[in-house]
């Protein structure tokens, strides 16, 4: 039993509640890729079954003819052998050609899907978070968010990919394949969700210490809901009125936070590209690109000791007196 434990543990590593699997397609790109996968599995499964069948049959024959003399290949069996080898080679060539053809057709379908995207989002990889920029019809309609993108369902969305530092790779298994994000090299990835849902994506190219916490969430929602999200994200942060929240805003604006982060207010617009934009921080699910859930408790821990949650993160530990710290937390909590 003891010897079996490592084996059981190894088998259990495949059990995960993480829904980011290629075989749960949420859109046409992933669906055709999954279709190709199942085709390979079906054809190879049939071949595997046939090989095992022939093996079992020959073992059975050997068992009943226990007194069988060693086989002397005569003229007849030599001819039969040649025939069977010929059939096997022919079948192999046929199956391989079929697979190449099926891959080609799938590739063509994927290229066709990518034509005429209806929406573009600029996604920039940073160590270790994703910046997402939505452009609008007017410059004032543009806004930046981080680590979580919203898309409308049944819409081809082109992710225009950039890197700010090293090579990253976007992987959204339920929606599309992987695309490397190389500094100085333009790349894009078209995704389309055909049902509402929340899909996990991740960086798939080792990019440094916190590569494992460089997640990208895609929230696909009906058009009306997406439009409402867009309108809300374009708005500046609420102007605080409560005394503690006003103080928190001052702590943010006059302290080290504002050196990297931006919170758009009616009189201070602009984007931050050094660190995630916090204008609507509380509308996001996680902090630190998936390092922790976005709750007041984790947020408090994150500000006091970001390295305790995400070792190596570029955010420094910030010393603050407790009143300022509470005020800052209160202010961040209003950024819905």
Under 8 Å between Cβ of 133 and 124: yes
User: According to the binding rule CB under 6 A, does residue 205 interact with ligand CUA?
Assistant: yes
Please pick, from the candidates 214, 218, 220, 257, the single residue that binds ligand CUA as defined by CB under 6 A: 214
Please pick, from the candidates 203, 216, 257, 287, the single residue that binds ligand CUA as defined by CB under 6 A: 203
User: According to the binding rule CB under 6 A, does residue 185 interact with ligand CUA?
Assistant: no
Select the span of 38-46, 71-79, 106-114, 201-209 touching ligand CUA (CB under 6 A).
201-209
| Angstrom distance (rounded) from CA 244 to CA 333 | 12
Size of the site for ligand CUA (CB under 6 A): 9
| Angstrom distance (rounded) from CA 175 to CA 199 | 8
Tell me the closest approach of the beta carbon of residue 213 to ligand CUA, in angstroms.
9
Select the span of 43-51, 85-93, 144-152, 206-214 touching ligand CUA (CB under 6 A).
206-214
Sole residue written with tokens 């990835």: 189
User: According to the binding rule CB under 6 A, does residue 312 interact with ligand CUA?
Assistant: no
Residue 14: φ, ψ to 5°? -80, -10
| Angstrom distance (rounded) from CA 214 to CA 201 | 9
| Angstrom distance (rounded) from CA 306 to CA 299 | 9
Please pick, from the candidates 133, 162, 179, 211, the single residue that binds ligand CUA as defined by CB under 6 A: 211
Closest by CA to 176, choosing from 159, 163, 162, 164, is 159
For residues 258-297, which are near ligand CUA according to CB under 6 A? none
Under 8 Å between Cβ of 174 and 26: yes
For residues 90-129, which are near ligand CUA according to CB under 6 A? 125, 128
| Angstrom distance (rounded) from CA 181 to CA 211 | 14
Select the span of 24-32, 205-213, 247-255, 276-284 touching ligand CUA (CB under 6 A).
205-213
Q: What is the DSSP letter of 210?
A: T
Tell me the closest approach of the beta carbon of residue 205 to ligand CUA, in angstroms.
5
Which residues form the interface with ligand CUA (CB under 6 A)?
125, 128, 168, 203, 205-207, 211, 214
């Amino acid at each position: 039993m003891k010897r079996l434990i490592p084996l059981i543990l190894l088998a259990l590593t495949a059990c995960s509640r993480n829904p980011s699997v290629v075989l749960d397609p949420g859109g046409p790109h992933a669906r055709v890729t999954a279709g190709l996968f199942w085709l390979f599995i079906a054809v190879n499964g049939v071949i595997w079954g046939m090989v095992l069948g022939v093996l079992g049959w020959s073992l059975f024959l050997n068992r009943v003819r226990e007194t069988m003399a060693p086989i002397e290949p005569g003229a007849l069996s030599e001819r039969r052998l040649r025939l069977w080898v010929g059939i096997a080679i022919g079948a192999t060539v046929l199956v391989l050609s079929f697979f190449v053809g099926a891959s080609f057709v799938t590739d063509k379908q994927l290229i066709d899907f990518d034509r005429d995207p209806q929406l573009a989002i600029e996604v920039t990889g940073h160590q270790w978070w994703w910046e997402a920029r939505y452009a609008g019809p007017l410059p004032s309609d543009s806004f930046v968010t981080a680590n979580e993108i919203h898309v409308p369902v049944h819409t081809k969305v082109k992710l225009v990919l950039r890197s700010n530092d090293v090579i990253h790779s976007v992987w959204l298994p339920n929606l599309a394949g992987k695309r490397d994000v190389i500094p100085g090299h333009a790349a894009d990835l078209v995704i389309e969700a055909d049902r509402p849902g929340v899909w996990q994506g991740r960086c798939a190219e080792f990019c440094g210490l916190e590569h494992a916490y460089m997640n990208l969430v895609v929230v696909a929602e009906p058009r009306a809901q997406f439009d409402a999200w867009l309108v809300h994200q374009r708005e500046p942060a609420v102007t605080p009125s409560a005394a503690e929240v006003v103080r928190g805003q001052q702590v943010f604006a006059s302290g080290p936070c504002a050196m990297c982060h931006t919170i758009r207010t009616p009189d201070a617009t602009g984007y931050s590209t050094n660190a995630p934009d916090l204008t609507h921080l509380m509308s996001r699910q996680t902090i630190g690109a998936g390092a922790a859930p976005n709750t007041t408790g984790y947020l408090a821990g994150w500000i006091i000791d970001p390295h305790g949650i995400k070792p190596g993160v570029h955010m420094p530990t910030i010393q603050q007196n407790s009143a300022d710290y509470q005020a800052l937390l209160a202010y961040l909590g209003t950024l819905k």
